[in-house]
Amino acid sequence: MDVAEMKNKAKWKGILIAVAVFLTGVVTGSVNSVGISRHIAKQNLSLDHLHDKLMGILIKKLDLSPDQVDQISPMILKGCERYGQLTLNTFNEVNELVGQINKEISTLLDPIQRTQLEELERGRQEEALRKIDSYKFLQLGVDIQEP
């Protein structure tokens, strides 16, 4: 093998490593962002809590009458339910994206690495399902796609 071939091989190896590091970062970042956003949602944005918080703001800032509260409250509840649906849809899309990226990554891995990636993916899926099972958004009846 001559020097030019070695340089070319080293260049492609470097590019491949950079791509693998980037994709690993994407996967890790996605998993972390899902975990963090779901943790925040669990603590602060249950439907009841969100509805009560929004109504409290509107009542205080707009000095709503009891009649206005009775009329506006169902609108806010409907909006909160839609928000929960959008949150779950986004969660499902992120899971789908991460799964797709993992499939692409696996084509670049040797059999041992592929098995390790599959184990990581199973752990990620289990953690994602564990987290989502604990949220009140499930009361919406929205279908959650398993990752």
> Per-residue pLDDT tens for 102-126?
889 989 989 898 899 888 888 887 8
For residue 54, give both structure tokens: 């929004």
| Total-model pTM | 0.52
Rounded Cα distance, 18 and 16, in Å = 5
Is 39 inside a domain boundary? yes
Q: Report how many domains make up the chain.
A: 1
Is 50 inside a domain boundary? no
Of residues 40 and 136, the one with the higher pLDDT is 40
Per-residue model confidence (pLDDT) at position 72: 95
Q: How far is CA 33 from the centre of its chain?
A: 6
Angle between helices 111-133 and 3-44 (to 10 degrees): 10
Is 146 inside a domain boundary? no
Is 58 inside a domain boundary? no
Domain span at residue 129? 3-44+84-139
Is 31 inside a domain boundary? yes
